[in-house]
A and B are shown apart, each in its own frame.
Chain A
Amino acid sequence: MSDSVKPGEWIDTERGFISREIFVSPEVHRQELNKLFTRAWLFVGHESQVPKPGDFFQSRMGDESVILCRDKAMQLHVFLNSCRHRGMKVCRYDSGNTSLFTCPYHSWTYGLDGKLLGVPQFRELYQGTLDKDANSLVTVGRMHNYKGAVFATWDPGAPDFLTWLGGAVEHLDMVLDCRDGRPGGSEVIGVHKWIFPANWKFAAENFLGDTYHNISHRSVDLIGIGPSARAGATGRRDNEMDQAKHIWAGFPAGHGVHSAILPEGNEYIPSFLSDPIVEEYFRHCFYERRRRMGEKARMIPFTGNLFPNVSFHGRQPRNLCNWHPHSATETEGWRFFLVDADAPAEVKDFLRRYYMRYSGPAGMTEQDDMENWLYATAASKGSVARRYPFNYQQSLGKWEATGEGGSNAWQVSEQNPRNYYRVWAEYLKGSPWDVLVGGPQAKAAAE
């Protein structure tokens, strides 16, 4: 490890300070790519983006271009989008359908499973030397299709996806399941891709449950852009969580969510006042979900971040995001918008319009987030600024340990980011998997 990288010194979760270095240093960025993005489970895409044999979607894992693709036997594959000969991208289309990936440079040809199939003049130039199997496109170490969401890791020794997810699974479920509680059944209706000059962890942290930044969205709250705004409501969402008890839950592997628990016997809170069809759909889904799930249906989703860079909004507006680092101070954001695949056309249309006015670089809410992340990054670059760590003391100590080694906080809290950066430091130290996913107890046991 380079002398300049000191994850242990930078992250002080006991006292609640984190060095600005980790948000601006090119060396830290390089180490993150080497030690973190090569190991963690990352979100690649959704199966609804590649429904038919031969369908592909060009995606990213950290700074690597990858292809998500479905073969003729309907199996999904994820492989590195870089030819084994001289590295040319074998696919430069955002998505499409194909039977082969033919490299534009010297025409090596790969199948839908990434296998090297064709090499021009193979017999004259390579016979007896080139092992085609060993020169296939580099496939991920592990892949998991969870309710349609495809995750992958480069590390074949990584724990399986559900182990890695731990208790965060019930919160991810609330993003991927149908609104009426049927498992899975969502589809991606579009993907935003954009570049913003900020460290990627600002975005991840936002979704860990930075409820404290609500105030920065005052402009949309004043004018009203929420689902019921056309009926005169202010705010940027409807008040479905008003009577709920909020929870900020951290998990041993670094994931963190902000969800909410409705009071016992709580009835549906009208949330789509300007459109009776949409209102009826969500009302129906609310009671159907309660019928299916019983007590468990009291938990409703808000935001979350799966370690390291997979963020989500669970309902208003509903999406999964990837924060791909380009450099310490530049990030490519990808946002995958979700709806129930079998929702009525009116519902899908209503939701996509709401998503567009809320989310991403053209979204009235998130523009203000991007502004904050940019200037927080920019103003942390200075030599003097870097001497002063960021403050993470909010609700320090005001949380309960969970059995699995996580934390539950019941008030606005920076416990989730403290937990996240604790795990982040373990990746940069190169810690073994049991420490990376096992929480503080595993760490103590290892020492």
Chain B
Amino acid sequence: MSGSLATQPAYAALQAEIADFLYREAELVDDRRFDEWLALLADDILYFMPQRRNVKYGEHAARENTKVGEGISWFEEDKWTLGKRVAQIQTGVHYAEEPLSRVCHLVSNVRILTATPSLSDAQEVTTSCRFLVYQSRVEYENYTFIGKRLDTLRRHGESWVVARREILLDQNVLLAKNLSIFF
């Protein structure tokens, strides 16, 4: 249980380390240091943003979100496609991001859900957080993306890499013309 995890002495230190990693990662995106950001993603990363459906009470677990491995989601990416997205921006002729948007990630409510093998010697952690991503584009275009994120981080030397990211954007019809930024 994550409730009991948080009461253990080693939790605070690990939580602080993980939160700091997530802030640093977000800052790389905001600073448009995309190659350095890519380096923080595991080679086998799954980067997933489902679509969210309006369903009857009681059907949410089964039907609210599109699923990994089936149908159509907003993103179901691996490192190759994420690398392509970065390369596309770097061509300088990806007009949806040329000129580049101003993007600001606010990451909050960072919690450790599991740590394996243990909190004090964590090699892999699953985390949850909330995000507010603001995108200001050209002159007047602006979008606010708010939602939850479930990340799996894997220890990599002194730091961490993102092994799995599930992005739950709290929108049904996407209220933005594009998802041309990273979450």
Contact = CB atoms under 8 A, between A and B. Distances in A.
Partners in one complex: yes
Interface of A: 92-96, 189-198, 216, 218-220, 222-225, 229-230, 332, 337, 349, 352-353, 355-357, 361-362, 364, 367-368, 370-372, 374-375
A356 B131 CA distance: 23
Given A93-B56, A94-B55, A190-B66, A361 B95 contact: no
Contacts, number: 118
Given A96-B55, A219-B88, A223-B88, A361 B75 contact: no
A312 to B, nearest CB: 16
A353 B77 CA distance: 8
Nearest to B76: A356
Contact of A216 (B53, B95, B141, B174): B95
Contacts of B53: 93-95
Interface in B155-178: 172-178
Contacts of B84: 223-225, 229, 357, 364
Given A93-B54, A364-B84, A195 B173 contact: yes
Contacts of A370: 96, 177-178
Contact of A193 (B76, B95, B173, B180): B173
B179 interface: yes
Contacts of B55: 93-94, 96
A219 B73 contact: no
Given A94-B55, A222-B91, A225-B84, A190 B72 contact: yes
Given A96-B59, A192-B72, A223-B91, A230 B174 contact: no
Contacts of A193: 51, 172-174
A371 B179 CA distance: 12
A352 B96 CA distance: 23
A89 to B, nearest CB: 11
7 contacts: A189-B71, A189-B72, A194-B177, A356-B72, A367-B96, A367-B178, A370-B177
A35 to B, nearest CB: 26
A195 B88 CA distance: 23
Given A195-B175, A230-B80, A367 B180 contact: yes
Interface residues of B, number: 41
Given A96-B59, A352-B71, A367-B178, 18 more contacts: A93-B55, A94-B172, A189-B71, A190-B71, A192-B72, A194-B173, A194-B174, A196-B177, A196-B178, A218-B93, A219-B88, A222-B93, A356-B73, A356-B74, A356-B75, A361-B74, A362-B179, A364-B84
Nearest to B96: A367
Contacts of B141: 197, 374
A197 B143 CA distance: 12
A222 B98 CA distance: 15
A381 B84 CA distance: 35
Interface in B64-88: 66, 69-77, 80-81, 84-85, 87-88
Contacts of B73: 190, 356
Nearest to B180: A367
